A = this chain, B = another copy of it.
Amino acid sequence: MTVPITVALLGGGTVGSQVARLLLEQQADLAARVGAPLELVGVAVRDASRPREGVPATLLTDDPGALAARGSDIVVELMGGIEPARSLILQAMAAGSSIVTANKALLAVDGATLHQAAAEHGVDLYFEASVAGAIPLLRPLRESLAGDHVTRVLGIVNGTTNFILSKMEEEGADYADVLAQAQALGYAEADPTADVAGLDAAAKAAILAELAFHTRVTSEDVFCEGITEVTSEDIQAARDMGFVIKLLAVAERTSDGTGVIVRVHPAMVPREHPLASVRDAFNAVFIEAQSAGEMMFYGRGAGGAPTASAVLGDVVAVARNHLAGGRGPRASTYADLTVRGIEEAQTRYYVNLDVTDRPGVLATVAQAFSDNGVSIQVVRQDGHGDDAGLVVRTHLASDGALRRTVDGLRGLDVVKRVVGVMRVEGEAGA
């Protein structure tokens, strides 16, 4: 119980200060749970002269390189971004330190380099906090479901966009208004691109897919469409049909079992689906596995304290491994499935059309679907004259065929405008 396990912290922002505070405040509890005390040996910050509440000034340093290289048992990286985070992590591993990180961007872009270095140097690399903040997700995927066969992962993994879509639905408000409100509340950044364009969700989708399917997946493999084009009309139309709109991260095995498709886009989800009730800034991940069936993990996806909780869980796990003289499970990409494009994904579309009000319109539109081998599930005709509209939901078809259908519709005389197109996910049997 006496030799302490040393922990160095790179990054003193929102999450970093919470981790430092908890390491110091909960010393006794953590020592009892690990079997040895955890000793915080340093916190690398941008400005070491600025005091941080609850962290002794002597622990602060503005030299992350020196702190990373000093051979602490555990180095916690919370700086974010690709560089200098990657170099510091590699330096720390070379010095024999195990790594805990929340850096989703780095993992999604260049996880392979990190995993390989961890294996070479015989150190742990844990990253629970990189996806869905406080929700224990990577550990269940990597460990609890290790004896099962995951077929599909559907996640709401970006709190900002879920907040915006929830508010648009509750208040019937427009995207721009709600975005401004989210920025005022601190739920969205001044430059919200990474969130609203789906890039943040795509990085998390890549990490989830890699774990679920034991296959290397990077951000570049992920089809990505954000929420900037979602209108209050789309949300109203979805509601009328018993659906809500969510930005989903989807990772799925192809039906022949040899491929994996990873995509992020807004989707209509049936109101009775467990994901539909995930509101505001909450995150949730829905997993379908061959033996386990359907399961869902729900919780806070961001914020200093929730993310710090996930980081500390990893610190405890790595510290226990260290004491036991072993290492946790390594990243595994043995299945080596082929990453396929979204054209091959089996999806359903909702299509909302402004049409001319004359006999035979439905027949012409239906023919356009059938020409592409797409079968229609529901069609609704609304209005008359200038207001004539057609709303179509399809059965499952390849995303490529569905997209070709929509392109075909745009070219029809009877179609004045394609008002809305959206994928539909989470229906029974889908």
* A residues adjacent to B (C-beta < 8 A): 18, 22, 26, 29-30, 32-33, 128, 134-136, 139-140, 143-149, 214, 274, 277, 289-300, 303, 305-306, 308-317, 320-321, 324-327, 329, 332, 334-335
Q: Flag if B277 contacts A289 (CB, 8 Å).
A: no
A297 vs B134: C-alpha distance when bound (angstroms): 12
Q: When A and B form their complex, which 7 residue pairs have the shortest distance between CB atoms, in order from nearest? A: A147-B312, A326-B326, A295-B299, A136-B144, A136-B140, A324-B326, A134-B292
Q: Flag if B313 contacts A149 (CB, 8 Å).
A: no
Chain B nearest CB: distance from A178 CB in Å?
21
Find the B residue at minimum CB distance from A324: B326
Find the B residue at minimum CB distance from A294: B299
* A296: B residues at CB distance < 8 A: 296-299
A-B contact pairs, 25 of them (CB 8 A): A32-B214, A33-B146, A33-B147, A33-B214, A33-B334, A134-B289, A139-B144, A140-B140, A144-B310, A145-B309, A147-B309, A147-B311, A147-B312, A147-B313, A147-B314, A147-B316, A148-B309, A274-B298, A290-B305, A291-B309, A292-B300, A292-B309, A292-B310, A293-B305, A325-B325
* A293: B residues at CB distance < 8 A: 134, 299-300, 303, 305-306
* A335: B residues at CB distance < 8 A: 29, 32
User: Among the interface residues A149, A292, A299, which one has the most CB atoms of the partner chain B within 10 A?
Assistant: A292
A214 vs B149: C-alpha distance when bound (angstroms): 32
Q: Flag if A305 contacts B291 (CB, 8 Å).
A: yes
Contact of A329 among B310, B311, B320, B329 (CB under 8 A): B320
A305 vs B128: C-alpha distance when bound (angstroms): 27
Whether A297 touches B300, Cβ cut-off 8 Å, given contacts A136-B140, A327-B324, is no
Find the B residue at minimum CB distance from A38: B147
* A317: B residues at CB distance < 8 A: 143, 146
Whether A295 touches B134, Cβ cut-off 8 Å, given contacts A214-B32, A214-B33, is yes
Q: Flag if A32 contacts B146 (CB, 8 Å).
A: no
Chain B nearest CB: distance from A153 CB in Å?
14
Whether A148 touches B313, Cβ cut-off 8 Å, given contacts A134-B293, A277-B274, A291-B18, is yes
A134 vs B294: C-alpha distance when bound (angstroms): 9
A285 vs B147: C-alpha distance when bound (angstroms): 22
Contact of A298 among B22, B143, B295, B306 (CB under 8 A): B295
**Other than the known A139-B140, A143-B316, what 14 A-B pairs have Cβ atoms closer than 8 Å?**
A32-B334, A33-B146, A134-B289, A136-B143, A146-B313, A148-B312, A148-B313, A274-B298, A277-B277, A291-B308, A292-B306, A296-B298, A321-B326, A325-B325
A248 vs B206: C-alpha distance when bound (angstroms): 37
* A327: B residues at CB distance < 8 A: 324
